[in-house]
Structure 1
Amino acid sequence: MSPPPRKRSRTLLIVLALCLSAAGTWTYLSYIDRPVPPPGVNEVPAVEAQQQSALVDQEDLRIMQTRATLTSAMARGGPAAARSRVPHISSSANGQTLVLPQRREPYRVADLERLGQEHFQKQSDGSYVLGINLFAGPGAKVVLQNATGPLVIRMRSDPGAFVSIVSFGANIKINGSARNPVRITSWNAHDRTADTKVSDGRAYLRVIGGELKVSHATVEHLGFWSGPTGGLALTGSDRPTANADLVTVPASLPGASPTSSPNPTSRPKRASSQQRALLPNGLLVPSRGSDNEVEITNGAGRGRVAYRLPEANLVTGDITDTKVTGNAYGIFITASNETRIINVSVTGSLVHGILLHRFARNATIENTTVTGSRGDGFVLSRGTQNVTITGSGAERNNGNGFTISGLPLARGPSASGESLRSFGGSSVTSSTARDNGRYGVEIQGGVKLVVQTTEVIGGEMGIVVSEDATGVRVSGNRLTGQRSQGIALRGGVRGARISGNIVRDTQTAIYLRDSEATISANTVESASLHAISLLGAAEGTTITGNTLGGAGRSALDTGRAKGATTVAQNNTTGWQDTAGFWTMVKRIAKPMNLIWLGVISLIVLSALRALRGDGPRAGRRFVHPYEKQTLLEERPAKLLRTAATQTPAERS
């Protein structure tokens, strides 16, 4: 049984309205930019994540305990200090550690073999197996090299147990040569191969403060979970790594300045051994002196010592002619100054290839390649500044080739009171990003960041600038074969200069959304959608002197931009407008147009229904709305006259 005609018509109207709504939504989505989310590193099961995180905490605790024990013994003096000044093995709940305190001569491989005994044994193939944690204390020097041949150190990394090499304020040299290189790798004694499983922790090398120099070395399959335990890590420290300046403040003068003595004209005296003994069990209280001083006193107030902290203890490093393979983080650097990475190759990292974290400044990266990382190739995260990357390459990484973040450490009030200042001064120059999973180069925020004379091949997008970046310069680059956009600026970018770039074989060569830039002297070849496209707020944007070639909807797509823009002297003779019927439909089929089309269609359809009718009403015509009303009959009018106005004949 078919539905009634009236119900069938109502159903058709509803279906038509839904189709129009869907078409409007599809058109709207086709015009907005949908950034591709970065491919994340393989997700770690919750149990493994918790296990690795706990191991990182245990390692931090072991390092702090080793450092505190060494400092405490040195402060007490006497037999304890004498014992702490010679190499010794320290035991804790988290394992044994061979402690190397400061001495005049550096510790060499022969010293480690003698001191480590069964924990550092030479194998039949000439390699060494390190089976104990190594800790180099403040001022110590460790040199790993072999003058008579290559040096191979295998760091024990069995299931459930691993070792590390950690220095705190020491100088570490991994000093290989072209003829006699050094190789450091993890070692699973059960499988007699490098450890490639990170769920139960893995051997790592970390330098805290001090200095690391690596040359002609291979570092393989180290690290797990965090940056500091990520494999090859250089981390600064907010703690002093050398002996601090200790001065006496008499307890009888509680209001005195911690750097003063009873005689204002006398210089503070250096603390004695007895006063140093207060340090391990002392109470830390705020100082009344300068910002880099604190006071330490015992609970009974029998003495007070001013502890003058050194300035930020930044790490420095020099890594040259080195190969890094299979680390969690290839190279991790934080709180550093003037670190150099030259002629280095990083492959197969489990997270990022080279990561410069907070407060890594004035670094130089040259002739370095990162290939096959599960995350990004090169990362300059928030807080990095004045880092130059030159002549380097990022290839076949799952994420970006290069990521530069100049974002502030906080957007507003924060518990730690972080600065709201943006960071900048970093650059990628004369480098290559090839076939990375996401973008070639991504810039997030920052001030005066630069990408120039760099080649970007493949990827979802080529060079992407976002997050309110200011004064970015993208110039002289060559971009080829991006799947979506060549150069993209979005999300409040201001004062950018896009000039002298060559963009080939992509859909949209240069794309701006809610941003402002000067786009000049660029060459676009073989674009298939737009050469230059502006969307949203583009007030102040200037497009001049560009040569635009390709075949697509339009060379200059500025119809969706808001605000005054300048477009002049662009050469579009090489552009072929391929806008056919459906392209014209898409240009016209904007959301509001479709809504009005739907309203008009409903009115027309209703009129047609009234004209044609359905069922028993078929054949009806348009009629006057009051045609069926009964006409009122006119009644004869009677002339009513008053008695006063009637004649006598009329009254009779």
Structure 2
Amino acid sequence: MDGAVLVIPAGARLLLAADQSGFSTLVALGGRLSVEGTAESRVTIESWNPTTGGPDDVTADGRPYLRVIGGDLRVAFTDLRALGFWSGETGGLAYDGDRSAEREMQTPVVGPDGAPTVEITEAAVEPARLEVSGVLVQGCAFGLTVANVESPIIGDSAFVESLADGLVLDRAVTGATVDQVEASRNARDGIVVDNTTSGTRMTGLVVNANSRNGLVLDGTAPAEGPNSTGAPTAVSGDSVVEGGTFDDNTRAAIDVVGGTAVRVAGVTVSGGDMGIVLGGGPVDVQITDSALSGQTRHAISIRDDAQDVAVGNNEISNVQVGVYVRNAKADVTSNVISDVELHGIVLTGRLAGSKITENELSGTGPSAINDDRALNARVEANLIDGWASSRSIEQILRTLMQPLTIVWMLVVTLVIVALITRLGAGRKRGDPLRDRRPLQAMSRGVFDRAEAGRFSG
């Protein structure tokens, strides 16, 4: 379809047939695919099983999908349902902007030695374009998968109830703008930013009730050194998350894995096991002006050699642990942490260069700041007047039931049992001096003469 243009007009309903015998797809190789719905007249694209008279809900034998490779894709005010299977490329709506450049042979030139030489160059290629707005992708294998494109625009759209991930920015996506996008109730992660993607700007996200993570920012290097596939060895990042709500994502609302230059500001996070998690050695991460509440474990968890992390001006409430820092370098300053059930801040491991200052902590638990296992952390000028030290029955039992305590309890128990057993045995054997008692102790000392006759010969 190189150079071809396909336009699906407003109000159209496109049913892609699928049953046990096969399925239909819409694939553009180059060219341009434009789905031009409007707010008043949306386009509908969905799978259709003629046998059941409804959408195809079986993925084992394949389902229809839309995919554009090396062309331009514009989708506006469109509903896509029950599409895709297997992987992101066939997952429902997929875009790969990789355009193979044609090679041109220049005019031959004769060298000084008389031998002709010719130079082969790649022709200039116009960048591919992706624009998605006002789109609902529901019940597909994946919501939208994007690869190999510069500056894609994705806005005012929703990717919900996918069988895997909602929105995936896959290989080599740079400068993406993701604005006012919802990714909710997906079976895995809501939004995934892959480890060869950089410069992503995300604003006003709504990411709720995903079965694993809400948003994954993966900045790890694809390869650690020279490799047979030519994969890059540099980390990625330069991601910004501004505003938005992240509610009840099972594991974490935002999971930052490696990478560099990550900014998270003004987000609201509630529920889930953890709120914002930093792992895999990310560098230069800022978490500011955000509100986190209701996490089962940690509101903010910083670990695994994270470096140059700044956590400031956040409000954290109704959690077990407000901020957890392990084997990392982080500045945790000017945060308000309240209604905590265990520790306001936990510090453990090697924390050289870390500063925990000017935080206000209130709640109940063993300690406001637990730094018993921390090395080289600077902790000062924190306000803990609102903290009430206390321990639950479970915490007391956990403290008492240490291995050494259990050993001593067993030793004491054995000694007590041995004493009781010995005393009981002594009572059963009787008095060892019983046969040597005086006669007076055994009778009144009166002997009747009549009784004497009974003992005479």
Interval of TM-score (by shorter of Structure 1 and Structure 2)? 0.7 to 0.9
Report the AA paired with residue 297 of structure 2: S
Task: State the match for 2:329 in structure 1.
Answer: 516
| Among candidates 183, 201, 206, match of residue 393 of structure 1 | 206
Residue of structure 1 equivalent to 2:57: 196
Runs of 4+ in 1 over 6 A off after TM superposition: 311-314, 598-619
Question: What is the CA–CA distance in structure 1 between the aligned matches of 2:31 and 2:21, rounded to whole Å?
Answer: 28
Q: In structure 2, do the counterparts of structure 1 residues 152 and 558 end up closer, same or farther at CA, with 3 Å as the change threshold?
A: same
Q: Indicate how the Cα distance of structure 1 residues 316 and 611 shifts in structure 2: closer, same or farther if over 3 A, else same.
A: same
Please show how residues 436-455 of structure 1 align to structure 2 within 5 Å: 436-455=249-268
Correspondence for 2:40: 179
In the other structure, the counterpart of 2:387 is: 575
Greater radius of gyration (CA): 1
Partner of 1:332: 145
Distance 1:616 1:320 in 2: 88
Which structure 2 residues correspond to residues 421-500 of structure 1 after superposition, within 5 A? 421-500=234-313
In the TM superposition, residue 197 of structure 1 has moved relative to its aligned partner by: 1.1
CA-CA distance at 1:319 after TM superposition: 0.4
Q: How does 1:357-376 map to 2 (within 5 A)?
A: 357-376=170-189
How far, CA to CA, are the matches of 1:166 and 1:558 in structure 2?
58
Match of 1:221 in 2: 82
- Aligned ranges 1:213-612 → 2 under 5 Å: 213-237=74-98, 239-240=100-101, 244-247=102-105, 259-263=106-110, 308-310=121-123, 315-561=128-374, 563-579=375-391, 583=395, 586=398, 594-595=403-404
Residues paired across the two proteins, number = 423
* Offset, 1:210: 1.8
Cα shift at 1:589: 6.5
In the aligned structure 2, how far is the partner of 1:140 from the partner of 1:178? Answer: 27
8 Å CA contact retained: 1:169, 1:209: yes
Q: 1 CA distance for matches of 2:373 and 2:180?
A: 43
Q: C-alpha separation between the residues in 1 aligned to 2:419 and 2:58?
A: 78
TM-score of the superposed pair, with normalisation by structure 2: 0.85
SS in 1 for 2:307: coil
Secondary structure in 1 matching 2:77: strand
Q: Cα distance 1:524–1:310, how it changes in 2: closer, same or farther (>3 A)?
A: farther
- Cα deviation for residue 142 of structure 1 reads 1.5
Distance apart, 1:309 and its partner CA: 3.9
Q: Provide the residue aligned with 2:4 in structure 1.
A: 140
Query: Amino acid of the residue matched to residue 389 of structure 1?
Result: M
Give the corresponding residue for 1:156: 17
**Structure 1 unaligned blocks of 5 or more:** 1-135, 248-258, 266-287, 291-305, 620-652
Contact 1:367 1:392 in 2 (8 A): yes
Q: For 1:165, which of 26, 40, 45 is the aligned residue?
A: 26
Q: Give distance in 1, aligned partners of 2:271 and 2:74.
A: 35
CA distance 1:443–1:164, shift in 2 (3 Å): same
Is the contact made by 1:208 and 1:315 (CA closer than 8 Å) also made in structure 2? no
For the residue of structure 2 that corresponds to 1:228, the secondary structure is helix
- More helix as a share of residues: 1
Whole-angstrom CA distance in 2 between matches of 1:616 and 1:179: 95
Distance 1:190 1:599 in 2: 70
Shift of the 143–601 alpha-carbon distance from structure 1 to 2, 3 Å rule, reads closer
Contact between 1:214 and 1:319, CA under 8 Å: does it hold in 2? yes
Structure 1: how far apart are the matches of 2:108 and 2:146?
A: 42
2-structure distance, mates of 1:230, 1:160: 19
Q: Contact between 1:209 and 1:314, CA under 8 Å: does it hold in 2?
A: no
Unpaired stretches in structure 2, ≥5 consecutive residues? 428-457
Residues 483 and 583 (structure 1 numbering): CA distance in 2 closer, same or farther, change over 3 Å?
Answer: closer
Cα offset for 1:580? 6.5
> Counterparts of 2:248 and 2:409 in 1: how far apart (Å)?
49
TM-score after normalising by structure 1: 0.61
* Corresponding residue SS for 2:162: coil
Tell me how far 1:320 sits from its aligned partner: 0.5
Tell me the CA shift for residue 502 of structure 1. 0.8
Per-residue CA distance 1:361-408 (angstroms, 9 max, x = gap): 110111111121101111112111111110011111111111110011
Q: Structure 1: how far apart are the matches of 2:70 and 2:395? A: 61
Greater CA drift, 231-240 or 447-456? 231-240
Identity %: 28
Structure with bigger RCO (C-alpha 8 Å, 6+ apart): 1
